Chains A and B, each alone.
Chain A
Amino acid sequence: MITLKVNGKKVSADVDPATPLLWVLRETLGLTGTKYGCGMAQCGACTVHLDGEAIRSCVKRVVDAEGKNITTIEGLSNDLSHPLQQAWIELDVPQCGYCQSGQLMSAAALLAESDNPTDNEIDEGMAGNICRCGTYSRIRQAIHRAAAIKTGGGRG
């Protein structure tokens, strides 16, 4: 039995300790917002936070996440109030939407590090996340917008 702290709640899962965290989140805990895209840390669709750091849950053994604070897209906010969620809605970033949980979690880690990231910092911080629909220019704009909302720019 493995005990995890997910989105502030303690949960336990009776799984093989070597199972990737992704599948425990999705299938054991029912948190399907975190997506499978490649299984080898190439696309970022499975990005979650482990003690605030953005990691690829498809290659992280669940046992290695024990005792750490795990945040998934479902824990970003419970009311769409996170500045990134506001900005994503305002600029209609998603198309198919499948990669966007991962994009948002990577962006959230980036924003936590830098209040006002430059285009270069955004490109660097977000290069691990693929969007096949090609929403990249909106992701860039939305991160800038979220930075403005976060630092008191309010809703526009």
Chain B
Amino acid sequence: MNATEMKRRDFLKTGAAVGGGLLLSMYLPELAHAASMAGPSVPNAGGAFSPNAFIRIAVDDSVTIIVNKSEMGQGVYTSLPMLVAEELEADWSRIRVESAPVDAAYNHPSFGIQMTGGSTSTASEWERLRKMGAAGRMMLIAAAAKKWNVEPQSLHAEKSFVIHAASGRRSSFGSLADLAATLTPPTNILLKDPKDFKLIGKSTRRLDTPGKVNGSAQFGLDIHVPGMMTAVILRPPVFGGKVVSVNADRAKAVAGVKDVLVVPTGVAVIANGFWPAKLGRDRLDVTWDDGPNATLSTVGMREQFAKLAKTPGLVARKLGDPAKALAAAAKTIVAEYEVPYLAHAMMEPLNCVVDLRSDRCEIWTGTQFQTVDRMAAAATAGLKPEQVEIHTTLLGGGFGRRANPASDFVVEAVQVAKAAKVPVKVVWTREDDIRGGWYRPMWYDRMAGGVDAAGNPIAWTHTIVGQSIMQGTMFEPFGIKNGIDDSSVEGAADLLYGIPNLQVDLHTPRNGVPVQWWRSVGHSHNGFAVEAFFDELAHAGGKDPYELRHALLAKQPRMRAVLDLVAQKANWGKPLPPGHGRGIATHFSFDSYVAQVAEVSVDKKGTLRVHRMVCAVDCGRVINPDSVKAQMEGCINFGLTAALKDEITLDRGRVQQRNFHDYPMLRINEAPEIEVHIVPSTENPTGVGEPGVPPVAPAVANAVFAATGKRVRRLPIRLSN
């Protein structure tokens, strides 16, 4: 066993749970550094239930893990309890999961707020949750030692029992919980040697699946509270527009409509259900002031971005002398890449239930951003953060949209509740979702590269043009350095390939389209531009795209291993039928290494079909292998939707798409065969939820080139153009 010395400032809180039992939580003050951003910690009152805990052991032997991350499909309601149960030696078949309330104890150890994002859940909880489990086990063992008057060293825990092997005595966790709750927490927490792991590293069925196959799983949209009304909101047709006048007569004539209220975001129709609220909204007659964004168009932005791309931006990274190297190169190429605005389009449209009283506010929603939402809701309601309680439901997809820096869907719901003076559920329609902004920004990239006489890349420049996500948010102070939003250049400025002369620079135009992180954030566009252009450069130098990547990853052994594995599994270099092609791409993001090979065909009519995607990933030590595979599969299909299908466009300030008929999703008949290979590793765990997305579009684009000789430089791929 390894002894992990707990710092003196770390301390454990214990207490008795309601109905008896042991409550255990660990507060790491040095990690919860952003105290100003987090609500104050709720102290554990002895003898009373405190939500400030990760483990609850009840006298009935149930072990409840309180999970501080939002379950949006990525499997945290299984993988995080696995970390606790592994060290606790709890009987996995009896583990229960609860979502955590908002409390500083549940803050992200690095970010200092309670949130789920950045593909960090496993990496950031890897150590803390194992310590939680280990501390619990040590206290249960100490309780049994006291009860039986034996040395703790003579005891061990197994499947929710403490066992004295010498005498054969056994005591269940539940029967020891009350006594354990009276003991002093350990100062030396002993963690297992990884070779002794029983759960970690083994594919484990998800605990949330049964509820998701019988209709009992509760998403935000499924919440009902007594006296609740439903609100559907008519928002301005142009971002930033304002209500000038409302004629609500026809809306109010709809049976079931109770009220029509002007709120800061538009006009809210309050009704006794979704359908009358929606019918009422359809019958509103509103005059708008479109404001300064009335002339916005993506065609115009594209022209502006393209012009900017030809001028030097703020330098995010420079190596050697790229201008000189380009001038001296045996061959140079220049290419421009572009990607559109994209909506997250989670299957569950946004929604939020608010019960606002004079001295408290209760909120039910699927959020990724508990601390931020609570602060924003409190400010809107005129309450203190600790007077606001957020119940995090299951999320019907997140992809970043439910971590809104302005807490848009939560603040709006509080505003509606304030005006309506009854508990309300605000429901977004799919049209509201597609047209509601907070998109992945549109990007325009200008690339130049040069190879020497032997075809080896010697120069690489990359000018990136697009809106900043961090600008104007509370994250600006640490997200933007010297005018450069790190999320705009991630995946480009940190290029892994060894190219001696390199420059990455950035233009950050501002416009009125609200933008936000979207699964894999900056990597989602930089992965495409970088990996597709790399392919061009390889061909310009007469090199095989896999061989060249392999050669330039000499100092990146983990990426090289992933690349070699995917090439081997995808039969790189083996002949394919005419009209078929393979494309390869790698990408490093969220500290994980991913490489993919796409196999596509293009028929005479230009119809593109993706037949097979092979993926290799090194994400450090794997907790639940099947979950990692599932995330890679999901990332690939998500990336394919972006590569093949979608764009949000604006004309005269208006979003031109509205639902799945004109903002389509990949469907099962278009979904490729997917093969995922995990590289075994003993490094600490790294990201899984997003790193599979960035290589998808370039792998497909490169495969299209292999199949047709035609370069794809703009997404979504439109071969007929």
Contact = CB atoms under 8 A, between A and B. Distances in A.
Given A92-B626, A98-B397, A132-B346, A39 B212 contact: no
Interface in B248-276: 255-256, 273-276
A100 B213 contact: yes
Interface stretch (B155-163, B669-677, B711-719): B669-677
A89 B205 contact: yes
Contact of A88 (B213, B348, B349, B638): B213
Contacts of B212: 94, 97, 100
Contacts of B75: 95
Contacts of A23: 273-275
A80 B215 CA distance: 10
A133 B73 contact: yes
Interface string B535-572: 00000000000000000000000000000000000000
Given A38-B660, A104-B213, 15 more contacts: A31-B215, A36-B221, A37-B347, A37-B349, A37-B660, A38-B659, A39-B278, A40-B659, A98-B347, A131-B347, A132-B345, A132-B347, A133-B637, A134-B634, A138-B630
Contacts of A130: 347, 660, 665, 667
Contact of A96 (B256, B348, B673): B348
Contact of A92 (B219, B221, B630, B637): B630
A35 interface: yes
B661 interface: yes
A97 B671 CA distance: 18
Contacts of B222: 26, 32
Contacts of A139: 668
B238 to A, nearest CB: 23
A54 interface: no
A65 interface: no
A134 B274 contact: no
Nearest to B344: A132
Interface in B3-42: none
Contacts of A147: none
A95 B208 CA distance: 9
Contacts of B177: none
A88 B213 CA distance: 7
With most chain B CB atoms within 10 A of its CB, the pick from A73, A97, A137 is A97
Nearest to B638: A134
A126 B668 contact: yes
Nearest to B72: A96
Contacts of A100: 212-213
A26 B215 CA distance: 11
Contact of B214 (A34, A42, A76, A135): A76
B429 to A, nearest CB: 6
B328 interface: no
22 contacts: A16-B276, A23-B273, A30-B224, A37-B660, A38-B430, A39-B430, A42-B661, A80-B213, A89-B205, A93-B213, A94-B213, A96-B346, A96-B347, A96-B397, A97-B208, A97-B211, A97-B394, A123-B669, A129-B668, A131-B347, A134-B636, A134-B638
With most chain B CB atoms within 10 A of its CB, the pick from A28, A96, A99, A130 is A96
B573 interface: no
B2 interface: no
Interface string A89-122: 1101111111111001000000000000000001
Contact of A137 (B345, B430, B671): B671
Contacts of B398: 96
Interface in B329-358: 345-349
Contacts of A27: 230, 273-275
Interface in A27-81: 27-28, 30-40, 42-43, 45, 72-74, 76-77, 80
B327 to A, nearest CB: 45
Contacts of B48: none
B215 A73 contact: yes
B607 interface: no
Contacts of B216: 33, 74
Contacts of B230: 27
Interface residues of B, number: 66
A74 to B, nearest CB: 5
B215 A94 contact: no
A11 interface: no
B89 interface: no
Nearest to B254: A16
Given A35-B348, A88-B209, A95 B275 contact: no
Contacts of B215: 31-34, 72-74, 101
A31 B638 CA distance: 30
B220 to A, nearest CB: 10
A99 B636 contact: no
A73 B211 CA distance: 11
Interface in B295-350: 345-349
A126 B230 CA distance: 32
B116 interface: no
B659 to A, nearest CB: 6
B396 interface: yes
B213 A89 contact: yes
B206 interface: yes
B286 interface: no
Interface in B612-670: 626-627, 630, 633-638, 640-641, 659-661, 665-669
Q: Which 10 A-B pairs have the closest CB atoms?
A: A33-B215, A134-B637, A98-B396, A95-B73, A97-B212, A96-B73, A136-B671, A73-B215, A42-B660, A123-B669
B431 to A, nearest CB: 8
Contact of A98 (B348, B637, B665): B348
A94 B209 contact: yes
A8 B655 CA distance: 44
Interface string A120-156: 0011101101111111111110000000000000000
B395 A136 contact: no
Contact of B396 (A85, A96, A104): A96
Contacts of A19: 275
Contact of A132 (B205, B209, B224, B638): B638
B209 A89 contact: yes
A123 B666 CA distance: 12
A27 B397 CA distance: 22
B227 interface: no
Contacts of A89: 205, 209-210, 213
A26 B273 CA distance: 10
B379 interface: no
Contacts of B674: 137
Nearest to A137: B674
Contacts of A28: 273
A73 B349 CA distance: 20
A43 B664 CA distance: 9
A7 B640 CA distance: 38
With most chain B CB atoms within 10 A of its CB, the pick from A40, A84, A136 is A136
Contacts of A72: 215
Contact of A35 (B210, B347, B630, B665): B347
A74 B216 CA distance: 8
Interface in A4-29: 16, 19-20, 23, 26-28
Contacts of B72: 96
A36 B659 contact: no
Nearest to B634: A134
Contacts of A43: 347, 430, 660, 665
Contacts of A45: 347
Contact of B210 (A74, A80, A124): A80
Given A37-B347, A137-B633, A92 B666 contact: no
